[in-house]
Amino acid sequence: MTGYSAPLKDLEFLFGKFGLGSSLQSLPPFSEVGSDYLSPIFEEAGKFAGEVLAPINHSGDQQGSTIENGVVRTPEGWKEAYDTFVEGGWCGLPFDEDIGGMALPWTVATAVGEMWHASNMSWGLWPLLTQGAIEAVHAHGSDDLKRLFLPKLVSGEWTGTMNLTEPQAGSDLALLKTKAVRDGEKYRIHGQKIFITYGEQDLSENICHLVLARLPDAPPGSRGISLFLVPKRIVDQDGNIGEHNDLRCVSIEHKMGIHGSPTCVMAYGDNDGAIGYLIGEEHKGLACMFTMMNNARLTVGLQGLAIAERAYQQARAYARDRIQGIAPGADGKGPIVRHPDVRRMLLTMRSTIEAMRALILDTMVALDTSKHHEDEAARTYAHRRVDLLTPVIKGWLTDQAVNVTSIGVQIHGGMGFIEETGAAQHFRDARILPIYEGTNGIQAADLVGRKILRDDGAAVWEYLDELNSLINGLNAISDPDIAEIRKHLAISIDTLESAIDWLLSEGKQDDAAAQAASTPLLTLFGITAGGAMMARMAKCAYETLKNGDPGIDQAFMQQKVITARFFAENILSTAPGLLPSICDGHNTVMRLADEDL
C-alpha cells in the first residue's frame, strides 16, 4: 500500500506564480492570506492526511462500518482521527469567525479538502456533509437555530447529514412522501429516508439531520417541500443535549465502495414523530437545500480530483518499482515506468488531475469573489461563473475519476484486481461519484437547461469570450509547445461554440434533442475548460521560465508545459469528435419504442 503525499508543490504553484493567491488577496477579508500564511496550513493538513487518514483508508475499506442493534460502528481509527480533526478546528476553515470558524477562503478549504478526500474518501464524507449543513443553517436558519447549532457544527463536535432520497424519490424529489406536521413552534417528522451518509455513527455526540418533508397543506410536487433540522438528540435552550429524538438508523447498505462510510436507512417518527425545526420558509425547502447541494456538488467534484490523485500516486509508485520487459532503447529489463504505453497511462492520469485541480480551485476563487468582492458587478459576474461551472465540475471531474482510477488499476496489471494492493478500492470508491449529489445525467440537464438555455447563453458566451482572450494571449508566444497547446485549445473552443450555437437554436426548439445532447456537451465543456486551465498554467510556467526569476524550480515549470502539451495532444484533441453526438446524436435517441429498447 502506497502512502499519500499532499500535492504541496502544485498548490504552491497555483496559489503563487499562477495567481490564485493574489486574486484572493484582492478580496477585502483575505488581504493577509498570502503564501506565507497558507503554506503552513497546507503542510499541516498534508501531514494530518498522510499520517492519520491515509493509513486507515484500506483497513477502513476492509472492515467497513457495521450495525448491530441500531448501533453503527465506524472502522478502527475513525474516531481517533475525528477527535484530532475537531481539535485542529479543520471543520470550520471557511466559516465566519463569529460562529467559530477560521474565515479562510473556500478556495483554501478546497485545497485542504482535496487532502482529506485523497487520503480517505470514506472518512472525508462527514466533514463534507457537515459543511453543507452549516451553509444551509447559516443562510436560512432562524437566529435561535444558528445560536444553538452552528457553533457545534462549525467546531465539528456535531455532524450534519442531508436527507433527501426516499425509495420512490431519487432524482425526482417531487415524489417524496416524508410528512411534517406542525406542533407549536416545532414540527413532527414521519417517514423513511435512504442513502443517508453518516446518518448514524459513533463519532459525535449529536447529529443534525437536514430533512426534506412535506406539510399536510403543501402544494403537490417540488414546490411543496420544506426543510427541517432534526437533531439526533434534542438540544435545550442552553445548548445542552437531552433525550433521543424519535429517529433511528434501520440498516446500513452493503455497497460496492466507500465501505468505511455508513450509508443509512433512517426512520423518522416511529412513535410520536421526530421533533424538527423549520429551516427557511414552509414549502421553500428545496431552495434551502440547494444552498447545501451546490456546495456539495462542487465538493463531490473535488472528491473526484482527490481519488484520482491518490490512484495516481499509487500507480506511479508501482510503475517505478515493477521490473518487467525491456523498454525501447534500453539495455535490459527495467521498471515499467519506462514503457511508452505505461507512461501514456501515467501522463493521462497526471495531466487530467492537473486540469481538474486547476479548474476547481479557479472556480473556488470565483466563489470567494462572488461572496467578497467589493464591486457588486464583479460579485454577480463571479456568481454566474460558479453557477455555470458547478455541473461541469461535478460531472466531468467525477467521470474522469472513474476513468483515472480505472487506469490506476490497469497499470498494476493482475495485482490491480487483488484487493490487498489497494488500487481496486480507489476504483470502487470512485464509482459513487458520478451518482450521488445529483447523477451526472442530472448535472448535464442542469448545464443545458438552467445554466445555458435559461439565460440564452449569456453566462456561457461570457466564459467563451474569456477563453478566446486566452487564445489571443497564447498567440503572442512563439514556442513549439505552446503553439501545439494553443492549436488544440482553439479547435476545442470552436467546437464548444458550435455546440452552444446548436443548443441555442435547434436544441432550444426541441427539448428531447437538448437532453439527448446534454451529456456529450458536458464532456466537451469539461475537456475544454480543463484544457484552458492547462493552457493557462503552461503560459504561466513558460513566462516564469522566460523571466528567469531566481529561486524558480525550473524542472517543475518545464513539466507543467510538457503535461499541458500532453493533455492538448491526447485529451483536448478528442473534443471535435464529440460534436456529432451533440448535434446529431438525438436523431435516433427517440426512435425506438420503449419496449424495443
Return the active site residues. 437
Phi then psi for 217, rounded to 5 degrees?
Answer: -100, 20
**Cα gap 410→416, rounded to integer Å:** 6
The binder of its own copies chosen from 188, 214, 297, 565 (CB under 8 A)? 565
Yes or no: say if 427 and 374 are a contact pair by the CB < 8 Å rule: no
| Residues paired with 225 in a beta bridge | 284
The answer to the question of residue 344 lying near its own copies (CB under 8 A) is yes
The binder of its own copies chosen from 41, 337, 482, 499 (CB under 8 A)? 337
SS3 of 534-546: the string is HHHHHHHHHHHHH
- In the complex with its own copies, the residue whose CB is nearer, 68 or 341, is 341
- In the complex with its own copies, the residue whose CB is nearer, 125 or 382, is 125
What letter would DSSP give residue 221? G
Residues 395-424 close enough to bind its own copies by CB under 8 A: 402, 406, 409-410, 413-414, 416-420, 424
Measuring CA to CA, which residue among 134, 142, 138 is closest to residue 277? 142
What's the min distance (Å) between Cβ of 384 and its own copies? 25
Yes or no: say if 20 and 361 are a contact pair by the CB < 8 Å rule: yes
| Type of residue numbered 336 | I
Residues 64-103 close enough to bind its own copies by CB under 8 A: none
What's the min distance (Å) between Cβ of 547 and its own copies? 22
Residues 161-220 close enough to bind its own copies by CB under 8 A: 165, 168-172, 175, 194-195
Hey, CA dihedral for 460, 535, 411, 75, is it positive or negative? negative
| Type of residue numbered 534 | M
Would you list the DSSP string of 462-484? HHHHHHHHHHHHHHT---HHHHH
The binder of its own copies chosen from 270, 281, 466, 511 (CB under 8 A)? 511
**Cα gap 493→470, rounded to integer Å:** 11
The binder of its own copies chosen from 3, 70, 239, 325 (CB under 8 A)? 325
- In the complex with its own copies, the residue whose CB is nearer, 25 or 515, is 515
The binder of its own copies chosen from 515, 528, 533, 542 (CB under 8 A)? 515
Please return the burial class of 256, using the count of CB atoms within 10 Å of its CB with bins 0-12, 13-18 and 19+: exposed
The binder of its own copies chosen from 32, 185, 341, 374 (CB under 8 A)? 341
**Cα gap 578→219, rounded to integer Å:** 42
The answer to the question of residue 468 lying near its own copies (CB under 8 A) is no
Q: By CB under 8 A, which span of 84-92, 143-151, 457-465, 514-522 interacts with its own copies?
A: 514-522
Yes or no: say if 5 and 355 are a contact pair by the CB < 8 Å rule: no
**Cα gap 442→469, rounded to integer Å:** 31
What's the min distance (Å) between Cβ of 579 and its own copies? 8
The answer to the question of residue 501 lying near its own copies (CB under 8 A) is no
The alpha carbon of residue 186 and the mean position of all alpha carbons in its chain are separated, in whole angstroms, by 34
CA angle 202/206/208 to nearest 5° reads 115
Decide: helix, strand or coil at residue 431: coil
Q: By CB under 8 A, which span of 210-218, 299-307, 463-471, 587-595 interacts with its own copies?
A: 587-595
**Cα gap 433→426, rounded to integer Å:** 11
| Residues paired with 73 in a beta bridge | 66
- In the complex with its own copies, the residue whose CB is nearer, 476 or 592, is 592
The answer to the question of residue 458 lying near its own copies (CB under 8 A) is no
Residues 118-137 close enough to bind its own copies by CB under 8 A: none
Q: By CB under 8 A, which span of 121-129, 331-339, 359-367, 373-381 interacts with its own copies?
A: 331-339
Measuring CA to CA, which residue among 368, 266, 302 is closest to residue 125? 302
- In the complex with its own copies, the residue whose CB is nearer, 62 or 469, is 62
Q: By CB under 8 A, which span of 144-152, 332-340, 359-367, 466-474 interacts with its own copies?
A: 332-340
- In the complex with its own copies, the residue whose CB is nearer, 168 or 240, is 168
The binder of its own copies chosen from 179, 232, 350, 373 (CB under 8 A)? 350
What's the min distance (Å) between Cβ of 259 and its own copies? 11
Yes or no: say if 499 and 579 are a contact pair by the CB < 8 Å rule: yes
The answer to the question of residue 587 lying near its own copies (CB under 8 A) is yes
**Cα gap 356→399, rounded to integer Å:** 11
The binder of its own copies chosen from 58, 186, 233, 343 (CB under 8 A)? 343
The answer to the question of residue 377 lying near its own copies (CB under 8 A) is no
What's the min distance (Å) between Cβ of 217 and its own copies? 22
**Cα gap 408→471, rounded to integer Å:** 33
# binding residues, its own copies (CB under 8 A): 102
The binder of its own copies chosen from 216, 329, 548, 551 (CB under 8 A)? 329
- In the complex with its own copies, the residue whose CB is nearer, 29 or 576, is 576
Joined together, the cell numbers standing for residue 406 give 480505472
Q: By CB under 8 A, which span of 361-369, 498-506, 530-538, 580-588 interacts with its own copies?
A: 580-588
Query: Helices 143-155 and 121-140 meet at what angle, rounded to 10?
Result: 160
Yes or no: say if 21 and 39 are a contact pair by the CB < 8 Å rule: no
**Cα gap 532→597, rounded to integer Å:** 38
What's the min distance (Å) between Cβ of 263 and its own copies? 8
**Cα gap 475→471, rounded to integer Å:** 6
- In the complex with its own copies, the residue whose CB is nearer, 204 or 440, is 440
Residues 140-159 close enough to bind its own copies by CB under 8 A: none
- In the complex with its own copies, the residue whose CB is nearer, 121 or 275, is 121
Residues 425-454 close enough to bind its own copies by CB under 8 A: 427-428, 431-432, 434-436, 439-441, 444-445
What's the min distance (Å) between Cβ of 591 and its own copies? 5
- In the complex with its own copies, the residue whose CB is nearer, 92 or 422, is 422
E strand or H helix at 338, and its extent?
Answer: none
What's the min distance (Å) between Cβ of 175 and its own copies? 7
The binder of its own copies chosen from 518, 536, 557, 560 (CB under 8 A)? 518
What letter would DSSP give residue 244? E
